[in-house]
Amino acid sequence: MGEVVNRAPQRWSGRDDGPGPEHLRWHHVVSGDGSADIAFVGFRSDEGVRRNKGRQGAADGPRALREALGSMALPAPLEAVDVGDVEVVGNALEEGQQQLGEVLTKLIDDGRLVVVFGGGHEIAYGSYLGIAGSERVRSGAKLGVLNLDAHFDLRADATPSSGTPFRQMAEQERERGADLHYAVLGISQPSNTRTLFDTADELGVSYLLDEDCGPANRDAVDEFVDRFLAGCDVVYLTIDLDVLPAAVAPGVSAPAAYGVPLETIQHVCDRVAASGKLALCDVAELNPELDVDNRTARTAARLLHRITTKHTR
């Protein structure tokens, strides 16, 4: 049994060096209501990771992300709103994803860039429901889903989990007579079975292996991202933190033995944010219980800081 709880936003806090725009940090600009350039939502869920037999603890990710982001200094004034958390209690994952989708659709239709703090990667299906239900996509805009991840998450399990969201998206798109425009950067070959690679090929998924994403492969990375962006009008970017090397992101359910350098991931995020097509971004798999010196939370917050400030500029 389980339920979905909508939790009100908490007051952001952080370092304060004084008044004025020259001292501006995130906690100064986040409010609980009103108009804003950016909207934050939390998705507190471990149920998908539990079903996928992973290490639980990501439900506390939204709290850690807010704390890590709160004291980061802003290069210029902006306005942000935090609408609180959708929390999955017990096994009510499907209901939680549906609720998250409804919250996101409204925020996206308001014209804001929406950022979702996870939570396990089951967040992705809820995020998809939100953007697929948006007015732009329902009116014919082509949706593109870019996943920065060591895993395809295309499992064919009957029970949805953190390992199934993109298979669920593909099936949903097929029901409405379309193909899912899905690309993954950072795939770890040892972490994905041959079946998953075959499924990706059958669904027309574009992917780039982690070993092909180093600094020497910058041209190939740019070509991959630009090809993806050219094939869609609206972008949903999802960042599974296990795409990063374990030394950079130890606080995840499945730390990477190899991983994609942070420099590359940041470069990809910059490129997507500057495209003018980004409508929705989420971060998944931050597990504060497994983190070291808040390293993973700070890295995730830094990426979101870059995406949001570049997008608003």
Annotated binding site for Mn(2+): 121, 149, 151, 153, 240, 242
How many Å apart are CA 104 and CA 119, to the nearest integer? Answer: 15
CB 172 within 8 A of CB 101: no
Using alpha carbons, select from 290, 303, 283 the residue that is nearest to residue 251. 290
Torsion of CA 182, 309, 68, 294, to 10 degrees: 60
Annotated binding site: 121, 149, 151, 153, 240, 242
Residue environment code for 279-299, b if the CB has 16+ CB neighbours within 10 A, otherwise e? bbbbbbbbbbebbeeeebbbb
Give, in degrees to the nearest 5, the angle at Cα 136 between 135 and 141.
145
Secondary structure class of 216 (helix, strand, coil): helix
State how far the Cα of 126 lies from the Cα of 146, in Å rounded to an integer. Answer: 15
Question: How many Cβ atoms sit within 10 Å of the Cβ of residue 71?
Answer: 15
The residue assigned the tokens 């990375």 is: 221
Q: Helices (H) and strands (E) in the chain — how many of each? A: 11, 10
CA–CA distance, 97 with 201 (Å, rounded to integer): 27
Output the CA torsion 120→121→127→128 (10° steps): -150
Alpha-carbon distance 79 to 77, whole Å? Answer: 7
